[in-house]
């Protein structure tokens, strides 16, 4: 097997990712002390409701109907029951057990903070639960899995470029807790184990029955090495981004890289409860499940929202559903919880093993928007969320990281299924492997978020997300549904984070937020390569792009704790408007979903020209919509803007697209 020559990839934004990434770090001249986080605010779990009165998830309804028709009504299934927040707090566990017992069900777990119970119930009895006002919504305990996209060849190793980024030589995540929800972490690997000044894995907890400090699949260990790999290992070719952060390993996937949503939700609940103990400021989830519910009722999304409301940055992989087995592009493949507006949803780029960013591309497998979670109304008609995602992208192709020593010899381990992934030493505690996918891109962004928080612990999750998008570099020739705001720019993001006043979160809308500002000079310069990196200077919200320097120079109400960036805009009768109490007059709505010129997020050719989505076919270039559903049920892309009503047509008319009206192949 060819082992490629190591290369140095600048920290600005080129990391490679779903399973392995180069060391990347920036630093601010004065290291801010990590602030001890306050106790999580008690926030309503369900701040949004679908308003259609249906309490059973559509895919669970289908399972019930199919089981009943085949005489399998007594088959027991595991469900997640969201409780009525107004009444559930008054009910004891025995009360809940009695309620479920009347339906021949059994409670398996109760998450009091999130207002959720996990239960086993016969299919034929689930519908009866709708009549109980204490039960708000019932969904299946859906399977979740890691997002590794296995490749069969390697390109290059990584080397830590941290020291070459002017002004950012000391930031490394010190004091910041990062929870990694994955297949576990084997910290006996020399790239990961603790060393002087490196706490490495500060805490292990398992939800799968596998020993807490073992990783039989190998995915979580690889992800962790991208986050916190020791820069002293192998001449610093594979050092992690936030290598002095505190990693909290929460094992929610089994030895085959699979799990269930209830375990992920329980881990999120644990993060909220233990935020202050470990200063958990970032959660990394390189996993997900196909989106079935709307984010408004999806229990994974609601749990992620609660973590966001508690002051934790939640970073999630977009998924690897960007193409069919025949290589056709697919839109609408974003997985849950990546469909949730509050999280940072990350897609993957291919850096082609070069230092420069000029050749970076979106990988073919990286999931594209819009989000396709949905609710059904009383007539059974689906109403899709259709939000713009991903939020940004990061290197995710063929990244080298640690191979879990405990995965050796396991039949379901990645390295057993794909032995060519292994490279370098045969010593178990030194063995490396490479992986590709949005799972690898995700820890790159999580690591940058940790450096931003180290530079300025006062940042809210919304402001971290906004800065990451504002400073991201749009990639030429890719539309917003493919790359969001663009490729992550660590140097730019940490610069602005360090400029934000430490009491900014107390400001009213429009108050000057920064201590200094340099958007057009050195701030846009990538010092390691003498290469200019233009900031996109925009923020993607649910249906549009906000732009203008006010987004960074002035405090916007949408950055407040428990606010969403998308709260700054609303849609009514196809018109997008700004909430003037959450955004200043210097912030503009752009025309939305565009193919970028590679300079500004809102520049480029309109995505709609000659493009018609009909029955799941993107007619301009044979691209599929992931669920094969006619999007004309409530989304309009007109002049590049995603709008929540109308018909999806090119420039509001059938135009060139009319001749392409046909069913999906």
Same domain (yes/no): 201, 85: no
Any domain includes 278: yes
Q: Higher pLDDT residue, 533 or 66?
A: 66
In tens, the pLDDT along 294-341 reads 999 999 999 999 999 999 999 999 999 998 888 888 889 999 999 999
pLDDT band for 351, please (50, 70, 90 cuts).
Answer: confident
Same domain (yes/no): 164, 137: no
Q: How are strands ordered across the β-sheet holding 287-288?
A: 258-260, 143-146, 287-288
In tens, the pLDDT along 558-604 reads 999 989 999 999 877 767 889 999 999 999 987 556 788 888 888 88
Indicate if the pLDDT at residue 611 is higher than 50: no
pLDDT band for 89, please (50, 70, 90 cuts).
Answer: confident
For residue 112, the domain's CATH number is 3.30.70.80
**Whole-number percent of the chain with pLDDT over 90:** 57
For residue 471, cis peptide bond before it (omega within 30 degrees of 0): no
Report which of 326, 328, 250 is spatially closest to residue 287, judged by C-alpha positions.
Answer: 250
Same domain (yes/no): 17, 67: no
Cβ 18 vs Cβ 436: under 8 Å: yes
Same domain (yes/no): 201, 279: yes
Rounded to the nearest angstrom, the gap between the alpha carbon of residue 200 and the centroid of all alpha carbons in its chain is 23
Average pLDDT over residues 632-648: 39
Indicate if the pLDDT at residue 638 is higher than 50: no
Name the most confidently modeled range: 38-52, 534-548, 606-620.
534-548
Same domain (yes/no): 297, 388: yes
Model pLDDT, residue 630: 46
Report which of 480, 541, 527, 444 is spatially closest to residue 158, judged by C-alpha positions.
Answer: 444
Query: Which H or E element spans position 540?
Result: strand 538-540
What is the rounded distance in angstroms from the CA atom of residue 290 to the CA atom of residue 333?
A: 8
Q: Higher pLDDT residue, 270 or 17?
A: 270
Same domain (yes/no): 495, 380: no
Same domain (yes/no): 108, 223: no
Indicate if the pLDDT at residue 16 is higher than 50: no
Same domain (yes/no): 101, 183: no
Same domain (yes/no): 294, 217: yes
Q: Higher pLDDT residue, 231 or 506?
A: 506
User: In sequence order, which ranges of 119-217 are alpha helices (DSSP H)?
Assistant: 123-126
- What percent helix, strand, coil does the chain show, rounded to 5? 25, 25, 55
In tens, the pLDDT along 167-179 reads 566 789 999 999 9
Average pLDDT over residues 278-289: 97
Residue with tokens 């691209």: 623
Model pLDDT, residue 623: 56
Contacts of 572 (CB under 8 A, 6+ apart): none
351, 357, 358, 363 alpha-carbon torsion, rounded to 10°: 30
Any domain includes 329: yes
Three-state secondary structure call for residue 433: strand
Indicate if the pLDDT at residue 621 is higher than 50: no
Model pLDDT, residue 318: 97
Indicate if the pLDDT at residue 106 is higher than 70: yes
Partners of 246 in beta bridges: 177
Indicate if the pLDDT at residue 227 is higher than 90: yes
Indicate if the pLDDT at residue 651 is higher than 80: no
Report which of 254, 226, 253 is spatially closest to residue 240, judged by C-alpha positions.
Answer: 226
Cβ 140 vs Cβ 59: under 8 Å: yes
Q: Higher pLDDT residue, 350 or 46?
A: 350
Q: Higher pLDDT residue, 50 or 475?
A: 475
Q: What's the mean pLDDT when you consider all of the chain?
A: 80
CB atoms within 10 A of CB 62: 13
pLDDT band for 52, please (50, 70, 90 cuts).
Answer: low
pLDDT band for 347, please (50, 70, 90 cuts).
Answer: very high
Any domain includes 306: yes
Which of 18-32, 57-71, 576-590 is the least confident region?
18-32
In tens, the pLDDT along 405-428 reads 999 999 999 999 999 899 888 899
Computed from CA positions of residues 66, 71, 74, 76, in that sequence, does the dihedral angle turn out positive or negative? negative
In tens, the pLDDT along 487-533 reads 998 888 998 999 999 999 999 999 999 999 887 665 565 544 567 78
Same domain (yes/no): 585, 654: no
What is the rounded distance in angstroms from the CA atom of residue 561 to the CA atom of residue 567?
A: 12
Domain boundary among 117, 141, 165: 141
Domain boundary among 126, 141, 156: 141
Model pLDDT, residue 26: 25
For residue 161, the domain's CATH number is 3.40.50.200
Rounded to the nearest angstrom, the gap between the alpha carbon of residue 585 and the centroid of all alpha carbons in its chain is 30
Model pLDDT, residue 640: 42
Domain total of the chain: 4
What is the rounded distance in angstroms from the CA atom of residue 455 to the CA atom of residue 648?
A: 44
Same domain (yes/no): 532, 384: no
Indicate if the pLDDT at residue 643 is higher than 70: no
* Tokens read off for 305: 């929202």
Model pLDDT, residue 149: 53
Contacts of 432 (CB under 8 A, 6+ apart): 191, 238, 400, 401, 402, 403, 422, 423, 424, 425
Cβ 472 vs Cβ 448: under 8 Å: no
What is the rounded distance in angstroms from the CA atom of residue 84 to the CA atom of residue 189?
A: 45
For residue 370, cis peptide bond before it (omega within 30 degrees of 0): yes
Strand extents, DSSP E, 613-662:
613-614, 617-618, 623-625, 636-638, 641-643
Query: Which H or E element spans position 401?
Result: strand 399-402
Residue range of the domain that includes 531: 490-595
pLDDT band for 22, please (50, 70, 90 cuts).
Answer: very low
Three-state secondary structure call for residue 480: helix
Any domain includes 570: yes
Q: Higher pLDDT residue, 318 or 377?
A: 318
Q: Higher pLDDT residue, 20 or 141?
A: 141
pLDDT band for 154, please (50, 70, 90 cuts).
Answer: very low
Same domain (yes/no): 440, 522: no
Cβ 173 vs Cβ 241: under 8 Å: yes
Average pLDDT over residues 9-37: 26
Average pLDDT over residues 69-83: 89
Domain boundary among 84, 110, 141: 141
Model pLDDT, residue 533: 80
What is the rounded distance in angstroms from the CA atom of residue 177 to the CA atom of residue 449?
A: 11
pLDDT band for 148, please (50, 70, 90 cuts).
Answer: low
Indicate if the pLDDT at residue 17 is higher than 80: no
Any domain includes 87: yes
Q: Higher pLDDT residue, 652 or 66?
A: 66
Any domain includes 653: yes
Any domain includes 447: yes
What is the rounded distance in angstroms from the CA atom of residue 278 to the CA atom of residue 268?
A: 14
Indicate if the pLDDT at residue 647 is higher than 50: no
Model pLDDT, residue 164: 34
What is the rounded distance in angstroms from the CA atom of residue 221 to the CA atom of residue 168?
A: 27
Any domain includes 67: yes
Q: Higher pLDDT residue, 162 or 187?
A: 187
């Amino acid at each position: 097997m060819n082992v490629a020559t190591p290369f140095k990839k600048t920290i600005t934004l080129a990391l490679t990712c779903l399973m392995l990434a180069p060391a990347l770090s920036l630093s601010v001249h004065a290291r801010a002390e990590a602030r001890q986080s306050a106790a999580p605010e008690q926030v309503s779990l369900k701040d949004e409701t679908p308003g259609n009165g249906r309490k059973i998830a559509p895919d669970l309804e289908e399972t019930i109907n199919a089981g009943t028709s085949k005489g399998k009504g007594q088959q027991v299934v595991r469900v997640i029951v969201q409780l009525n927040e107004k009444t559930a707090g008054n009910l004891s566990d025995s009360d809940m057990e009695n309620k479920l017992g009347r339906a021949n069900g059994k409670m398996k777990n109760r998450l009091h903070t999130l207002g959720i119970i996990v239960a086993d119930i016969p299919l034929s009895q689930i519908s009866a639960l709708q009549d109980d006002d204490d039960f708000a919504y019932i969904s299946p305990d859906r399977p979740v899995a890691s997002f590794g996209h296995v490749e069969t060849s390697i390109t290059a190793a990584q080397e830590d470029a941290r020291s070459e980024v002017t002004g950012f030589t000391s930031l490394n995540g010190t004091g910041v807790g990062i929870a990694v929800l994955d297949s576990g972490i084997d910290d006996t690997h020399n790239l990961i184990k603790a060393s002087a000044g490196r706490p490495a894995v500060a805490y292990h907890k398992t939800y799968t029955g596998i020993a807490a400090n073992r990783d039989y699949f190998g995915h979580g260990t690889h992800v962790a090495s991208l986050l916190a790999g020791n820069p002293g290992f192998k001449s610093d070719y594979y050092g992690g981004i936030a290598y002095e952060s505190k990693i909290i390993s929460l094992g929610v996937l089994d030895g085959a890289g699979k799990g269930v949503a209830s375990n992920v939700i329980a881990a999120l609940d644990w993060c909220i409860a233990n935020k202050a103990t470990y200063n958990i400021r970032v959660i990394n989830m390189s996993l997900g499940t196909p989106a079935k519910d709307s984010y408004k009722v999806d229990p994974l999304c609601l749990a992620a929202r609660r973590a966001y409301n508690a002051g934790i940055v939640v970073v999630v992989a977009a998924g690897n559903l960007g193409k069919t087995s025949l290589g056709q592009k697919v839109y609408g493949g974003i997985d849950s919880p990546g469909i949730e507006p509050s999280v940072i949803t990350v897609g993957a780029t291919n850096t082609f093993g070069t230092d420069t960013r000029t050749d970076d591309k979106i990988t073919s497998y990286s999931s594209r928007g819009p989000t396709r979670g949905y609710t059904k109304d009383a007539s059974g008609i689906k109403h899709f969320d259709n939000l713009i995602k991903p939020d940004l992208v990061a290197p995710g192709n063929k990244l080298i990281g640690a191979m879990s020593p405990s995965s050796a010899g396991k039949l379901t381990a990645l390295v057993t299924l794909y032995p060519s992934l292994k490279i370098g030493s045969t010593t178990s505690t030194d063995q490396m492997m490479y992986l590709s996918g949005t799972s690898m891109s995700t820890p790159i962004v999580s690591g940058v978020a940790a450096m931003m928080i180290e530079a300025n612990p006062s940042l809210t999750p919304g402001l971290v997300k906004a800065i990451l998008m504002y400073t991201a570099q749009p990639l030429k020739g890719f539309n917003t549904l493919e790359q969001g705001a663009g490729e992550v720019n660590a140097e730019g993001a940490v610069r602005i984070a360090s400029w934000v006043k430490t009491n900014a979160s107390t400001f009213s809308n429009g108050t000057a937020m920064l201590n200094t500002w340099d958007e057009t000079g050195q701030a846009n310069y990538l010092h390691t390569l003498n290469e200019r990196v233009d900031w996109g200077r925009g923020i993607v919200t649910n249906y549009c792009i906000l732009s203008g320097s006010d987004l960074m120079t002035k405090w916007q109400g949408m950055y407040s704790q428990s606010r969403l960036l998308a709260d700054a805009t609303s849609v009514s009768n196809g018109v997008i408007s700004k909430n003037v109490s959450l955004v200043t007059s210097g912030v503009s709505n752009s025309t939305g979903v565009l193919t970028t010129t590679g300079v500004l997020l809102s520049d480029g050719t309109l995505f709609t020209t000659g493009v018609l989505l009909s029955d799941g076919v993107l007619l301009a270039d044979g691209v599929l919509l992931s669920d094969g559903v006619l999007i004309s049920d409530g989304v309009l892309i007109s002049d590049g803007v995603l709008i929540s009503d109308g018909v999806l047509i090119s420039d509001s008319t059938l135009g060139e697209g009319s001749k392409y009206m046909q069913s999906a192949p």
